[in-house]
Chains A and B, each alone.
Chain A
Amino acid sequence: MKVVIIKYNAGNVRSVLFALERIGVDAIVTDDHDEIRKADKVIFPGVGEASSAMKYLKERGLDKLILSLKQPVLGICLGMQLMCSRSEESNTNTECLGIFEQEVKKFPDNQSFKVPQIGWNNICGLKSGLFKDIPENSYMYFVHGYYVGNGEGTIAKTNYILDYSSALNKDNFYAVQFHPEKSGETGQKILENFIKM
């Protein structure tokens, strides 16, 4: 089993690497096209800002490479947002990878809610093997100021100010808004489910 974490300028790959180690998976972090293409599983993590991350991916041809992948791919947090059609982060209208049709929008202003959302929130309406043996309303750890609306590919929903997609799936592409690598035992189980796909 060869698991690759895509290396780009949107950090926190170390946490993902350690989380995989905890479930007995030795992953490698690389931006080498051949290595990524040959992997059995690809993880596309990310903490950072959309437009600069997209620019970086394009400069290295990683955008086209990701789109061409046939093995299971898991986007995490910013990784998920970059897999959508566009993002309005930082008042840009950044064109993203377009794997999922939804757009990434800023949470609307609301007196009773702080933005970004930081902390543990529930996931519900769980579909797909990614959530095998994961109970409805499990708590996952989120850190984000932008959200992806619900749509055809929605396989988990969360409520914060509004109902939105906390996980997406289309063909071999999976994506989660939360951080499974930081979400305790339940997050660990989701990573295991992905690795077993």
Chain B
Amino acid sequence: MLAKRIIPCLDIKNGKTVKGINFENITDVGDPVELGSLYAQMGADELVFLDITATNEKRKTFSELVTRIAKHINIPFTVGGGISTVEDVSVLLDCGADKISVNTSAVRNPQLIYDLANNFGSQCVVLAIDTKFIDGEWYVFLNGGRIPTDIKTVEWAKQAVELGAGEILLTSMNNDGTKDGFALDITRAVSESVNVPVIASGGAGTMEHFIDVFKEGKADAALAASIFHYKEIGIPELKRFLKERGIEVRI
């Protein structure tokens, strides 16, 4: 049976992991490769590396990092942050990335999704959506959640999948950082309106939240950062907890 996926997300700045992370077993907590390898050993199903510098002059640092990740890590990984052209993606895939994620650039230019799917296949095109609930409706936000749009989230997800997006990474800004749980209603709404996997993100605080997002939110995968980085929840214990409660996971 296809397993629900647990995906730690690592924010990268100038080739280093950003969030203060306390792990004893690794020598350099700032090294994305060491941290990623550790998560892979612990049972993470995939990894996401988000380049939050993503300025042109730093892009080379990031692509070098992607090559190092691909050399050392034996599970699939997605890279994102500041990707806006077919050429950007070509470079990252050549470095060994399995998938790339696009967000703002795809809203500004939806044709990009089509071009990426056409050139490299839908399987490597992840559409990231930052969404916020305002006056009874979920809207798409851009530039890391700083710029509002009047685009409705479900409509955008459907359009993107028609254009060729192979997966949706949905982050609820209302929930992100709260540790009060994932946004179950919008996750479910998106998951039920597209025929590609939906990765839920934002709000994970307890192990029960993962049960909720898989059962009620109908998510195919769940992404989290700080609860893993700060060891509030260990991936092995999370997976055992999910399995005991009837959620199919890879152990």
Which B residue sits closest to A117, measured CB to CB?
Answer: B2
CB pair B74–A188 under 8 Å, yes or no, is yes
Residue B40 contacts which of A118, A139, A142, A184 (CB distance < 8 angstroms)? A184
A27-65: CB near B (< 8 Å → 1, else 0) gives 000000000000000000001110000000000000000
Task: Say yes or no for B243: interface residue by CB 8 A criterion.
Answer: no
Task: Say yes or no for A170: interface residue by CB 8 A criterion.
Answer: no
Which residues of B in the span 62-78 have a Cβ within 8 Å of any Cβ on A? 70-72, 74-76
Which A residue sits closest to B249, measured CB to CB?
Answer: A120
Task: Say yes or no for B166: interface residue by CB 8 A criterion.
Answer: yes
Residue B2 contacts which of A11, A15, A119, A181 (CB distance < 8 angstroms)? A119
- The answer for the CA separation of A47 and B166 in the assembled complex, in Å, is 14
Residue A182 contacts which of B5, B71, B98, B220 (CB distance < 8 angstroms)? B98
CB pair A15–B221 under 8 Å, yes or no, is no
A118 / chain B contacts, CB cutoff of 8 Å: 123, 166-167, 196-197, 220
The range of chain A's interface size is 20 to 34
CB pair A14–B3 under 8 Å, yes or no, is no
CB pair B95–A14 under 8 Å, yes or no, is yes
- The answer for the CA separation of A187 and B124 in the assembled complex, in Å, is 20
Tally of contact residues, B, Cβ under 8 A: 30
Which residues of B in the span 1-48 have a Cβ within 8 Å of any Cβ on A? 1-3, 5, 40, 45
Task: Say yes or no for B158: interface residue by CB 8 A criterion.
Answer: no
- The answer for the CA separation of A8 and B121 in the assembled complex, in Å, is 15
The smallest C-beta distance from B129 to any residue of chain A, in angstroms, reads 17
CB pair B71–A114 under 8 Å, yes or no, is no
Q: Contacts A48-B121, A114-B195, A143-B123 known; A121 to B74 CB distance under 8 Å? A: no
Task: Say yes or no for A154: interface residue by CB 8 A criterion.
Answer: no
- The CB with the most chain A CB atoms within 10 A, among B75, B166, B196, B197, is that of B75
Residue B221 contacts which of A11, A119, A187 (CB distance < 8 angstroms)? A119
B185-216: CB near A (< 8 Å → 1, else 0) gives 00000000001110000000000000000000
CB pair B220–A11 under 8 Å, yes or no, is no
- The answer for the CA separation of A89 and B167 in the assembled complex, in Å, is 20
Task: Say yes or no for B96: interface residue by CB 8 A criterion.
Answer: yes
B167 / chain A contacts, CB cutoff of 8 Å: 118
- The answer for the CA separation of A117 and B221 in the assembled complex, in Å, is 13
- The answer for the CA separation of A173 and B49 in the assembled complex, in Å, is 37
- The answer for the CA separation of A158 and B1 in the assembled complex, in Å, is 8
CB pair A18–B96 under 8 Å, yes or no, is yes
Residues of A at under 8 Å CB distance from B?
A: 11-12, 14-15, 18-19, 21-22, 47-49, 114-122, 139, 141-143, 159-160, 179, 181-185, 187-188
Pull 13 A–B residue pairs with CB atoms less than 8 Å apart, ordered by A.
Answer: A14-B70, A14-B96, A15-B98, A18-B70, A22-B74, A48-B121, A116-B123, A119-B197, A120-B5, A159-B1, A184-B40, A184-B75, A188-B74
Residues of B at under 8 Å CB distance from A?
A: 1-3, 5, 40, 45, 70-72, 74-76, 93-96, 98, 120-124, 166-167, 195-197, 220-221, 250
